[in-house]
């Protein structure tokens, strides 16, 4: 790898706002004149990664595309302990079997993002349980623990903030020692000389650098990525219903697509730079289009397509986009599969009808869903030509749906005008 390409990669990361801290940028640039091995740790503290994890995973992908060899580490050991970073209370500890299942799930997600097959830069997935579990407590204290100063450990931001908030257990206090041990082992086993992570991991990563120097007399590097926030300062990747997960069972492809489509205009330039793999010129063009015609949401849609395809595949992305269009009369809603329809209608106002119950008239249903204040208001919508059932115009105030109208034998989609939607569910 040439010096120019290493400079280009780091310059690209800086342009995208993806560098928070590095130990020595000049030294790292020089080291990257040749392909290096780097790692990113992800702890299985849930069945899935979320958008915060995705930010750093994509940085790992950028290094791989530039010719470097990535090691995604799934923390089967550290996941049993709990990282105190960014938390004000102890993490609930999970059984080993649960953590093992989450490790497997996260591996499948990583395989959607990182290339594991390339002969020269193919990723190597590791689990730190492999080298942590065989070591006895006495061996760990003698061989690893002796290299750590309690004074230095107490000064780490993640520990200091917990002490101010009321205290920290020895279990979570020891997390930085375990993560440092990971870096040492990967330095030994794989000649890994760079660890990347979120900026809240800086203290843990630097602890690993110190351990490598003390035990092996070696040197390595650290690079952290800023924690992503919205333009209003709030945490990115959170919605009213919770985190945006990469697992389709936890956040459906439709919800995932809609999340990007509905991001605030002010956040899109930053999100394009952080998440998109497009070239600078393509991103600049999308930002310019956004500024000239924000209502078209071209940049939002491009980002939604790119991210949904990356995480869920093109077929799921196409279905999610088709669902979004179909809800508002721009496609055939009857062509959507039940899973997509379940997701697309899940957040709408709704009313449930029993299978043996008589189906009310359209105006009664719309009023029952709360889209209008009264049946008389619903009748007025029909008269004005703004009433729809499954995207078909309702022309009679007395129109009553039939059971054959229910999509997949389960749903009716009611629409008032262009954008006010509601669902009727046959239970």
CATH number at residue 400: 3.10.290.10
Please check whether residues 34 and 11 belong to one and the same domain. yes
Neighbour tally for 68: CB within 10 Å: 21
Please check whether residues 92 and 204 belong to one and the same domain. yes
Q: Which of 239, 266, 235, 270 is nearest to 252 (CA)?
A: 239
Contacts by residues 338-343 (CB-CB < 8 Å, ≥ 24 positions apart): 338/408, 338/410, 339/252, 340/252, 340/253, 340/254, 341/407, 341/408, 341/410, 341/411, 342/252, 343/252, 343/253, 343/254, 343/255
Over residues 356-369, the pLDDT tens digits come to: 889 999 999 999 99
Please check whether residues 46 and 176 belong to one and the same domain. yes
**What pLDDT shows up at residue 406?**
94
Please check whether residues 171 and 302 belong to one and the same domain. no
**DSSP strand E in 241-362: where?**
242-243, 350-353
**DSSP strand E in 280-419: where?**
350-353, 387-389, 392-393, 411-416
Range of the domain at 165: 3-225
Q: Which of 174, 186, 182 is nearest to 145 (CA)?
A: 174
Please check whether residues 134 and 265 belong to one and the same domain. no
Q: Which of 375, 13, 4 is nearest to 194 (CA)?
A: 13
Burial 211-225 (b: 16+ CB within 10 A, else e): bbeebeeeebbbbbb
Counted domains in the chain: 3
Please check whether residues 29 and 95 belong to one and the same domain. yes
Q: Which of 70, 406, 25, 230 is nearest to 414 (CA)?
A: 406
Please report whether residue 410 resides in a domain.
Answer: yes
- Contact yes or no for 203/194 (Cβ under 8 A): no
Please check whether residues 372 and 307 belong to one and the same domain. no
**What pLDDT shows up at residue 28?**
94
Q: Which of 41, 323, 66 is nearest to 176 (CA)?
A: 41
For the domain that residue 20 is a member of, what is the CATH number?
Answer: 3.40.50.620
**What pLDDT shows up at residue 101?**
92
Please report whether residue 88 resides in a domain.
Answer: yes
Helix extents (H) in 150-234 = 150-155, 157-165, 170-173, 175-190, 202-216
Please report whether residue 233 resides in a domain.
Answer: no
- Select from 204, 225, 246 the last residue of a domain: 225
- Select from 267, 300, 332 the last residue of a domain: 332
- Select from 304, 332, 360 the last residue of a domain: 332
- The Cα 228–Cα 244 span in angstroms is 14
Please report whether residue 201 resides in a domain.
Answer: yes
Please report whether residue 337 resides in a domain.
Answer: no
Residues in contact with 196: Cβ distance below 8 Å, sequence separation at least 6, in sequence order: 38, 39, 40, 56, 59, 60, 63, 222, 223, 224, 225
Please check whether residues 319 and 190 belong to one and the same domain. no
**What pLDDT shows up at residue 91?**
63
Please check whether residues 327 and 365 belong to one and the same domain. no
**What pLDDT shows up at residue 90?**
63
Please report whether residue 232 resides in a domain.
Answer: no
Please report whether residue 345 resides in a domain.
Answer: no
Please check whether residues 51 and 190 belong to one and the same domain. yes
Please check whether residues 216 and 68 belong to one and the same domain. yes
Please report whether residue 339 resides in a domain.
Answer: no
Which segments in the chain show pLDDT lower than 50? 1-4
Burial 145-156 (b: 16+ CB within 10 A, else e): eebbeeeebeeb
**What pLDDT shows up at residue 85?**
65
Please check whether residues 295 and 252 belong to one and the same domain. yes
**What pLDDT shows up at residue 3?**
39
For the domain that residue 299 is a member of, what is the CATH number?
Answer: 1.10.240.10
- Contact yes or no for 69/38 (Cβ under 8 A): yes
Over residues 105-154, the pLDDT tens digits come to: 999 999 999 999 988 899 999 999 999 999 999 999 999 989 988 888 87
**What pLDDT shows up at residue 166?**
72
């Amino acid at each position: 790898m040439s010096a120019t390409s290493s400079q280009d990669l780091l310059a690209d990361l800086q342009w995208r706002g993806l560098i928070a801290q590095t130990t020595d940028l000049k030294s790292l640039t020089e080291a990257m004149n040749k392909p290096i091995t780097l790692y990113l740790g992800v702890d299985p503290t849930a069945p899935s990664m979320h958008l915060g994890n995705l930010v750093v995973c994509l940085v790992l992908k950028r290094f791989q595309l530039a010719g470097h060899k990535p090691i995604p580490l799934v923390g089967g050991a550290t996941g049993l302990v709990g990282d105190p970073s960014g938390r004000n209370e102890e993490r609930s500890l999970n059984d080993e079997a649960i953590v093992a299942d989450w490790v497997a799930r996260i591996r499948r997600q990583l395989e959607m993002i990182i290339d594991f097959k390339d002969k020269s830069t193919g990723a190597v997935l590791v689990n730190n349980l492999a080298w942590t579990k065989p070591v006895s407590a006495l061996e760990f204290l003698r061989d690893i623990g002796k290299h750590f100063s309690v004074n230095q450990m107490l000064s780490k931001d993640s520990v200091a903030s917990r002490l101010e908030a009321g205290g920290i257990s020895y279990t979570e206090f020891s997390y930085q020692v375990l993560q440092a041990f990971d870096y040492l082992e990967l330095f030994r086993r794989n000649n890994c000389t760079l660890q990347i992570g979120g900026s809240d991991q800086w203290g843990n990563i630097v602890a690993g650098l110190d351990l490598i120097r003390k035990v092996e007399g070696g040197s390595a590097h650290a690079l952290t990525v800023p924690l992503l926030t919205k333009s209003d300062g709030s945490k990115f990747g959170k919605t009213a219903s919770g985190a945006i997960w990469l697992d389709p069972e936890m956040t459906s492809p439709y919800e995932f697509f809609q999340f990007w489509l509905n991001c605030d205009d002010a956040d899109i330039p930053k999100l394009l730079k952080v998440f998109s793999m497009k070239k600078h010129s393509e991103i600049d063009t999308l930002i310019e289009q956004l500024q000239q015609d924000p209502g078209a949401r071209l940049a939002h849609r491009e980002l939604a397509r790119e991210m949904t395809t990356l995480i869920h595949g093109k077929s799921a992305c196409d279905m999610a986009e088709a669902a979004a269009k179909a809800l508002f009369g721009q496609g055939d809603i009857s062509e959507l599969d039940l899973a997509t329809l379940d997701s697309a209608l899940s957040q709408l106002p709704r009313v449930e009808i029993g299978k043996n119950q008589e189906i009310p008239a359209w105006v009664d249903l719309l009023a029952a869903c709360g889209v209008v204040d009264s049946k008389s208001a619903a009748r007025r919508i029909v008269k004005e030509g703004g009433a729809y059932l499954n995207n078909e115009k309702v022309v009679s105030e007395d129109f009553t749906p039939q059971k054959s109208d229910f999509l997949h034998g389960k749903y009716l989609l009611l629409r008032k005008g262009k954008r006010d939607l509601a669902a009727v569910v046959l239970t």
